Chains A and B, each alone.
Chain A
């Protein structure tokens, strides 16, 4: 009887030992679609691995910003993160490929660069100790301002928001003749209210969530930039997961991403429509103004190429998106 009991105890502890809890951080607030996507993914992982892989999500920046997430993954405090290219660039600078202004004008551009660079980005992340589960676009960034902006000249009159701590971008704008004002994201609204800043390049969903649209109620309908996000997991944790589940885990992550991708596109359009109801004015640039913007980006090139974005990556992106 004693032996049976011991065998039972041993088998229970072995089952317990095989259970892998993956602690994942994200800035996405609880209750949003992005957070929901991770919750759903965790439930599917649990099902597919017979409960061996359990995802624990820490939403809303509980773990800190994306730099903190990367740091905490490195020391093993968390094991995975749903992060944007902002955080991914901290690990592999090549992710700055997606920073080039005006380079991406439709999903085909993004896809062309992803198709070309994904294997290399994946490998470089792997070399740094991270497994990339997927990468997808979150949406487009546009210029929002307090008064009409349709040409680069209009923007030069403005005090534009740049991320505090991201001195490189502030320098790029400064050298190109703009007035960057580095601020923490939590100071954007008060900065707009007090006139400290009067323009910002951001995604419509973010402008809505920031409640900035009441002040920056002019939007230039020109895709200035794009933001991508992905899921990474540290290799130590990834390798603890039995290899037989790896393919299924990646496949689940991708199918849930596809399901939510459409929601994301809809949400961006809805955000613009919702803000229009509250007075947001959308300005279409003329063909001549679009050329002016393109020339402006060309003038910014020496400050970007090799400074913020590795030279080979910069050239490759332009090559892939030229058409």
Chain B
């Protein structure tokens, strides 16, 4: 019976036809889906190239979409528990880094040296998937490490991977690269004030165009990175209300991430008074 439920959950999520209520009301089920998927891939002895890619992607999605989401919420009420969940995400991101490195090092034996600016590599357009997910794994490890210097030092690596991917195919993932650049740019130490707003707005516009404005997480990111930081309360609320009203059935590709983004938007809105001091 347990195996049947597992199978049903995996099929439902894989086909993107899982009822919304199942995701929003039963987050543990979503978490269960991810852990089962990861487990089943990790059990295999020799992963094919596609399976390695699937494992890399699933670990990063699980880290960001489930664990870090949970950590962000829990940390407000129980700091130590929130940090513990963040540590679990850190483990996933680090494993994802290893997988991503291994995939690209198999194709390009000097990949590690390229990462440290030691050599040049001419990548192909079908490398974008690996470059993007590896960048996301590095970014996730930096964020979930909560300031660990050995992770923070890798910030330029995120930039290098994303810029290389953008040069190969900027519209890949319907704006995913631009969306990631928004997050990376928010961590740049050399940008502040208008230059920060302008740089992030540039990638924000690009991400919206590439996703036909159907990716809710782009709006949520902007609300958090810019509107919250620069205390634009009205814009913050407008964007998040807009996200909540988006129909999650508008786009199959973004359905799961949009539902997660909508839940985050609701949570952020509930904290508006805490974020804006005037």
Contacts and interface: CB of A to CB of B under 8 A. Distances in A.
Same complex for A and B? Answer yes
Interface of A: 23, 25, 31-33, 36, 39-40, 43, 56, 58, 60, 62-63, 77-78, 184, 186-190, 205, 208-211, 213-214, 267, 270-271, 273-275, 277-278
B153 interface: yes
A186 B190 contact: yes
Interface stretch (B28-36, B72-80, B171-179): B72-80
A211 B277 contact: no
A210 B147 CA distance: 13
14 contacts: A36-B83, A39-B76, A39-B79, A40-B79, A43-B78, A56-B274, A186-B190, A188-B189, A208-B153, A209-B189, A211-B189, A267-B148, A273-B150, A275-B149
Given A62-B229, A186-B189, A186-B192, A211 B156 contact: yes
B277 A77 contact: yes
Given A62-B229, A62-B231, A208 B149 contact: yes
Nearest to B75: A39
Interface of B: 75-80, 83, 116, 143, 146-150, 152-153, 155-156, 189-193, 195, 228-229, 231, 274, 277-278
A66 B28 CA distance: 42
A274 B148 CA distance: 10
B190 A188 contact: yes
B190 to A, nearest CB: 4
Nearest to A190: B190
A32 B147 contact: yes
Contacts of A270: 148-150
The 8 closest A-B pairs by CB, nearest first: A189-B190, A186-B192, A271-B149, A40-B79, A274-B153, A32-B147, A270-B149, A274-B149
B143 A31 contact: yes
A31 B277 CA distance: 19
Contact of B189 (A25, A32, A189): A189
A267 B147 CA distance: 9
Contacts of B77: 43
A33 B146 contact: yes
Nearest to A205: B149
Given A186-B192, A188-B190, A209-B189, A274 B150 contact: yes
Contacts of B75: 39
A274 B116 CA distance: 13
A186 to B, nearest CB: 4
A36 B75 CA distance: 9
Nearest to B155: A211
A297 to B, nearest CB: 29
Interface centre among B228, B274, B277 (most CB of A within 10 A): B277
A60 B150 contact: no
A187 B189 CA distance: 9
A176 B77 CA distance: 52
Given A39-B75, A43-B78, A31 B189 contact: no
Interface centre among B116, B190, B192, B231 (most CB of A within 10 A): B190
